[in-house]
Amino acid sequence: MSGSICLCLTLCLIASQVLRYCCSSPRTVEVLLNTYSKLRGTEDWAEVVPEEEQQVLRYCCSSPRTVEVLLNTYSKLRGTEDWAEVVPEEEQQKNRLFFQSVFWLSRSPRSLQHLCRCALRSHLEGRLPRTLPRLPLPPPLLHFLQLGFEDVLY
């Protein structure tokens, strides 16, 4: 696994623990990923194994927005049937539509919209925080590119 992916996953797991125990905002995770994450091409992300994605669900399921931001950093998800078992039933019921989209994506490819986001973020690697806000983009598109919350995965 590449160093940038290890760093990103480490930051994600640390942030998830902070969120889990201190009830902080998932915005913290979004800022960390926009600042420090270096998304490369899908060839690097192909090294991320389902167990790591499953850990994101396990540790962050009480904060769906954290799960959203973390899983949106992946261009591919290699979900398994176990994903639904990792998330407690009460969490699934509280955020039914969100977790349905997560479980659906565990069996389906990511949308073209999401893959374009990954490609642009990869192209702007290391320059995301200063470059994205300066692009002449409509606010909803900028929000999407900055891993803003939508309460659903594509």
Using pLDDT thresholds of 50, 70 and 90, give the confidence band for residue 117.
very high
Amino acid 15 reads A
Look up the domain containing 26 and give its range: 3-145
Residue 11 located in a structural domain: yes
pTM of the entire predicted model: 0.70
The beta strands (E) that lie in 1-151 are given as none
* Among 99, 141, 101, CA closest to 120: 141
Tokens representing residue 135 in the block: 């692009």
Total of domains in the chain: 1
What pLDDT sits at residue 8?
A: 56
Using pLDDT thresholds of 50, 70 and 90, give the confidence band for residue 46.
very low
What pLDDT sits at residue 43?
A: 42
Above 60 in pLDDT, residue 67?
A: yes
Residue 154 located in a structural domain: no
Share of the chain above pLDDT 90, in %: 23
Cβ neighbors of 13 (< 8 A, separation 6 or more) are: 55, 59
Residue 111 located in a structural domain: yes
pLDDT mean over 103-125: 89
Residue 82 located in a structural domain: yes
Residue 25 located in a structural domain: yes
For residues 67 and 106, the answer to whether their CB atoms sit within 8 Å is: no
Residue 151 located in a structural domain: no
* Among 73, 78, 50, CA closest to 128: 73
Residue 150 located in a structural domain: no
Q: How many CA atoms lie within 13 A of 76 on its CB side?
A: 13
For residues 19 and 29, the answer to whether their CB atoms sit within 8 Å is: yes
The string of pLDDT tens digits covering residues 75-106 is 887 777 778 888 999 999 999 999 999 988 87
